[in-house]
Amino acid sequence: MAIVLGLPKGSLQESTFALFKRAGFNVSCSSRSYIPSIDDEEIKCRLLRPQEMSRYVELGLLDAGICGYDWVYENGSDIEEVCELNYSKATSNPVRWVLAVPEDSKIKKVEDLQGKRISTEAIGLTKRYLKKHGVKADVEFSWGATEVKAPELVDAIVDLTETGSSLRANKLRIVDTILTSTTRLIANKKSWKNAAKRAKLEQLKMLLTGALEAQRRVLLKCNAPAKALDKVVKVMPALHAPTVNQLHGGEWYAVESVVEERLVRDLIPQLTKAGATGIIELPLNKIIF
């Protein structure tokens, strides 16, 4: 029995395929097809726009799918969230849906939108947000290039931003952040209750998060003389404790630990100071705590 898994077509596609590769699955797709091949007989893949993913997962046409939380929310889909997968297009920051207006607009807060026209690709999200704040406004569907529409064609926009640079380039000011979103593995509720399907989804979760964790971590190894061992071990961060191993001859110890890569640049000077030598850093493919 195989699960049918939706993968996101578009800007996330390449990084999703790369993530699966690191997790141990070879996924490939000819340019015009929407049926990627995968080297696991228990998985059937489909490529879908992230905007439509949760709709078909909810209907059960897919057992599971990968897409942003924003589109689950926009569609109001009733699905099971399996786990967060912390990766996106350019950076590891979450994307945000923001309400933005021209820099010199008089609109300073959501309440100033009363009776105005707003352009957005996320109609549902925007309407629920306005309703929550008791504001009535015209919400128009945008077919793209939303950020160039204000102020000539509309008064405000609700758009996606990762770094804010496109908004700045179009001289827009953020009034409010409506939703912060990251990528998720979601499942159909019935599939999630099916034992075999759930086991497969748990395996996927373990391997995908293991591959993501490994990207942010490295294996750090060093040697320490007996007298410096305590200091070195103290400096070396570890989930439990670093792995320590007495070397042949007895006077030296090998210390190794999986550490976050962003800490290494400060850690290395400290290890050196503590008496460690022969420090080496190795890349990881996967890590399961």
DSSP structural state of residue 38:
E
Q: Among residues 2, 29, 174, 279, which is the contact residue for its own copies, using CB under 8 A? A: 279
Name which of 252, 258, 245, 242 is nearest 276 in CA terms: 252
Q: 28: which strand partners?
A: 37
**Least distance CB 134 / its own copies (angstroms):** 26
Question: Applying CB under 8 A, does 282 fall inside the site for its own copies?
Answer: yes
Residue with Cβ nearer its own copies (50 or 129):
50
Question: Applying CB under 8 A, does 165 fall inside the site for its own copies?
Answer: yes
DSSP structural state of residue 173:
E
**Least distance CB 133 / its own copies (angstroms):** 25
Footprint of its own copies on 94-133 (CB under 8 A): none
Footprint of its own copies on 138-157 (CB under 8 A): 140, 142-145, 148, 152-153
Residue with Cβ nearer its own copies (24 or 192):
24
Name which of 78, 4, 12, 9 is nearest 45 in CA terms: 4
Can you read off the two tokens belonging to residue 175? 């009034």
Q: Among residues 14, 39, 81, 176, which is the contact residue for its own copies, using CB under 8 A? A: 39
Question: Applying CB under 8 A, does 164 fall inside the site for its own copies?
Answer: no
Site string for its own copies, 167-196 (x = CB under 8 A): --x---------------------------
| DSSP-H helix ranges across 37-151 | 50-59, 69-75, 123-132
Can you read off the two tokens belonging to residue 216? 């942010």
Residue with Cβ nearer its own copies (134 or 249):
249
DSSP structural state of residue 113:
G
**Least distance CB 135 / its own copies (angstroms):** 21
Q: Among residues 49, 132, 190, 273, which is the contact residue for its own copies, using CB under 8 A? A: 49
Footprint of its own copies on 247-266 (CB under 8 A): 247-249, 252-254, 258, 261-262, 264-266
Residue with Cβ nearer its own copies (2 or 284):
284
Q: Which helix (H) or strand (E) holds 269?
A: helix 261-274
23-31, 77-85, 105-113, 186-194 -> range binding its own copies (CB under 8 A): 23-31
Query: What does the alpha-carbon distance between residue 3 and residue 64 come to, in Å, rounded to a whole number?
Result: 8
For residues 19 and 212, the answer to whether their CB atoms sit within 8 Å is: yes
Query: What does the alpha-carbon distance between residue 253 and residue 229 come to, in Å, rounded to a whole number?
Result: 7
Query: What does the alpha-carbon distance between residue 258 and residue 223 come to, in Å, rounded to a whole number?
Result: 15
Q: Among residues 23, 64, 156, 232, which is the contact residue for its own copies, using CB under 8 A? A: 23
Q: How do strand 243-246 and strand 252-260 relate by DSSP bridges?
A: antiparallel
Question: Applying CB under 8 A, does 215 fall inside the site for its own copies?
Answer: no
